[in-house]
């Protein structure tokens, strides 16, 4: 017997350069409260507020007066504040809604030290990671009331808000008396124990302290002298700059010098000079729980991305994460999303998965996905890479189901844009091929398992010169020469223009795939099964299954620069397809096999419309 699966009521056909989509009239998530959506159901937009839109020029100098070294404001310099703010974000919510965004994650908004760095090489805290006051927004971005206005406005549209938070460090305020002569080199636990001033031959200090592994209050009460490795010095002008006030006491910092990002220094060293918090200390843990639980309770936000997660001891997270989830539950936020940043450029996800098992993170940023997509779409490696990637989903705490909530992405503010990597990997690539490969990468991002994250500007074809500051262009008209000479893709515009063009081919593609994704539960939270891969560039295919009725979908991609054909396996009961995007065959070739023919860098998303019983 043949069973016909009736297609859902369609809006019609929405088309872009190489996609044709058939969509439901009402996205499934729109029928329920935004609070009820699972993390895997979100389409996230990651943005640096300073670089998005300037809604209020009166706060461009923040709370400071003077020149750029006092205020941090210089829109001509890529390393200083440019003027974007919370009002600007609020004013552009229509744009984000039209893109299909359901959750907004923004870089930290807390009050920062405006300028840091050696003379002649200063830069500003526009990015938000040099916090002095954890209890309010930076004056360059606006007030706490304006932040609440933004959250409420986003929620009114059914959009969630994720804050980017830091517990590992504060701004660089503490100096070391011996620092200049040593270059702030890291001093180890073995060579500089807590029990002596300076080296092991030094004066005995902190009698009775049994080390940081004993995290009882009574033990840490015996740690009174922070001079065990270096002698910390706080400049008089900054003695009370940190809020809450307890953060101004050097006893709550490791004070061991700069991390080398290896060995024990990865957890105990200063991150590029930033003051490294003593997160093993119960007072630090208690203080951070209080700070961030208050943000949840007072603003109703929906999640945290946690910066530098791997540089903090696991025991901290084992208490902090449950405390945040409990504060959210008490505030009526049942699906509060917490994901940690564990930077690793490897498509093997075993390393990042350990942070979900040992440390207790519900999710981690999926750097393995990012690397896997780069390898197959940009570096011309075989599609077996993606099979290896997804095979590793069983390593996460909660296994393949937990992997559905991992935030997937193509590029970001630290590693750079996907388009930049395309140029690094393919120096002679044309703009046309860059656009085609970038479209394919976004089609994969928005169809495969995980919670997709769009890095701001990707939808406008931004192509940076590199990573870090070189990947943080302005969406509003830029005055930064090193941004304005970039050649964007899919447009004749430059970053000197306002770039909120909803007709841009990448904007249209992302919007259409976002709408398709939200219309079909299989693409939001359905089980994923690998169906086809190879040792060379070419066809990669997965099935996604509706979590309610088991209906099968096929997503097929061609990572090759040439047209490809393949017989793709699928359920033996499948007979015919409904086309959602790209070109789907009318039906199967034989039970268990369907023939796909895709153009270079093409794709097809198909729903099984007819099955045999």
Positions marked catalytic: 307, 341
276: phi then psi, degrees, rounded to nearest 5: -85, 115
Beta partners for residue 228, in sequence order: none
| 3-class state of residue 69 by DSSP | helix
- Phi/psi-derived region of residue 302, left when phi > 0, alpha when psi is between -120 and 50, beta in every other case: alpha
Tell me how far CA of residue 108 lies from CA of 132, 146, 286, in angstroms. Answer: 12, 15, 21
| 3-class state of residue 94 by DSSP | helix
Tell which residue, 108, 126, 93, has the closest CA to residue 163. Answer: 108
533: phi then psi, degrees, rounded to nearest 5: -160, 170
| 3-class state of residue 398 by DSSP | coil
Tell which residue, 566, 574, 565, has the closest CA to residue 543. Answer: 574
Tell which residue, 294, 301, 91, 267, has the closest CA to residue 169. Answer: 267
Contact 87, 145 (CB under 8 A): no
Tell which residue, 606, 596, 603, has the closest CA to residue 558. Answer: 603
Question: Distance (Å, rounded) from C-alpha 518 to C-alpha 502?
Answer: 19
Residue 58, classified by CB atoms within 10 Å of its CB into exposed (0-12), middle (13-18) or buried (19+), is exposed
Q: What tokens appear for 383 in the block?
A: 């599609």
Question: From the DSSP assignment, how many helices (H) and strands (E) are in the chain?
Answer: 18, 26
Contact 277, 167 (CB under 8 A): yes
């Amino acid at each position: 017997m043949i069973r016909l699966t009736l297609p859902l009521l369609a809006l019609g056909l929405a088309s872009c350069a190489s996609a044709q989509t058939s969509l439901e009239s009402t996205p499934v998530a729109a029928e329920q409260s935004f609070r009820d959506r699972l993390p895997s159901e979100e389409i996230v937009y990651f943005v640096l507020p300073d670089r998005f839109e300037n809604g209020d020029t009166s706060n461009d100098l923040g709370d400071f007066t003077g020149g750029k070294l006092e205020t941090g404001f210089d829109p001509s310099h890529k390393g200083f504040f440019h003027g974007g703010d919370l009002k600007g974000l609020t004013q552009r919510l229509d744009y984000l809604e039209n893109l299909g965004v359901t959750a907004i994650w923004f870089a930290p908004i807390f009050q920062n030290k405006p300028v840091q760095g050696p003379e002649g090489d200063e830069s500003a805290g526009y990015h938000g990671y040099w916090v002095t006051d954890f209890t309010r927004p930076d004056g360059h971005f606006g007030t706490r009331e304006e932040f609440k206005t933004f959250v409420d406005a986003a929620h009114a549209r059914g959009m969630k808000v994720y804050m980017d938070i830091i517990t590992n460090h504060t701004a660089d305020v503490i100096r070391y008396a011996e620092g200049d002569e040593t270059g702030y080199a890291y001093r180890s636990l073995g060579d500089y124990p807590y029990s002596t001033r300076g080296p092991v031959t030094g004066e005995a200090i902190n009698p009775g302290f049994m080390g940081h592994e004993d995290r009882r209050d009574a033990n840490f009460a015996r740690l009174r002298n922070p001079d065990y490795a270096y002698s910390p010095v706080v400049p008089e002008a900054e003695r009370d700059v940190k809020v809450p006030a307890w953060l101004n006491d050097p006893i709550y910092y490791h004070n061991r010098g700069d991390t080398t990002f290896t060995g024990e220094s990865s957890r105990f060293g200063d991150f590029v000079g930033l003051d490294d918090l003593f997160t093993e200390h119960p007072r630090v843990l208690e203080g951070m729980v209080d700070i961030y639980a208050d943000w949840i309770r007072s603003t109703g936000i929906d999640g945290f991305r946690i910066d530098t997660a791997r540089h903090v001891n696991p025991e901290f997270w084992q208490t902090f994460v449950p405390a945040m989830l409990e504060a959210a539950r008490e505030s009526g936020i049942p699906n509060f999303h917490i994901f940690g940043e564990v930077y690793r450029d490897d498509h093997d996800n075993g390393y990042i998965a350990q942070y979900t098992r040992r440390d207790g993170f519900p999710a981690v940023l999926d750097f393995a996905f990012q690397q896997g997509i780069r390898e197959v779409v940009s570096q011309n490696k075989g599609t077996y890479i993606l099979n290896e990637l997804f095979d590793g989903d069983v390593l996460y705490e909660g296994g393949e189901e937990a992997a559905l909530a991992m935030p997937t992405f193509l590029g970001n503010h630290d590693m750079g844009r996907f388009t930049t990597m395309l140029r690094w990997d393919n120096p002679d690539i044309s703009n046309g091929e860059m656009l085609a490969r970038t479209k394919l990468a976004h089609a994969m991002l928005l169809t495969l398992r995980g919670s997709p994250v769009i890095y701001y500007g990707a939808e406008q074809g931004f192509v940076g010169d590199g990573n870090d500051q070189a990947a943080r262009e302005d969406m509003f008209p830029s005055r930064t020469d090193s941004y304005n000479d970039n050649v964007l893709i899919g447009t004749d515009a430059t970053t000197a223009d306002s770039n909120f063009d909803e007709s841009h081919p990448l904007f249209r593609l992302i919007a259409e795939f976002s709408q398709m994704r939200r219309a079909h539960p299989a693409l939001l939270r359905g089980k994923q099964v690998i169906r086809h891969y190879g040792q060379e560039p070419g066809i990669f295919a997965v099935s996604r299954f509706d979590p309610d009725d088991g209906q099968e979908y096929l997503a097929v991609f061609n990572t090759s620069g040439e047209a490809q054909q393949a017989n793709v396996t699928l359920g033996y009961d499948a007979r015919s397809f409904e086309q959602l995007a790209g070109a789907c065959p009318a039906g199967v070739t034989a039970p268990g096999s369907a023939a796909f023919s895709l153009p270079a860098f093409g794709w097809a998303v198909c729903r099984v419309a007819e099955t045999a019983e």
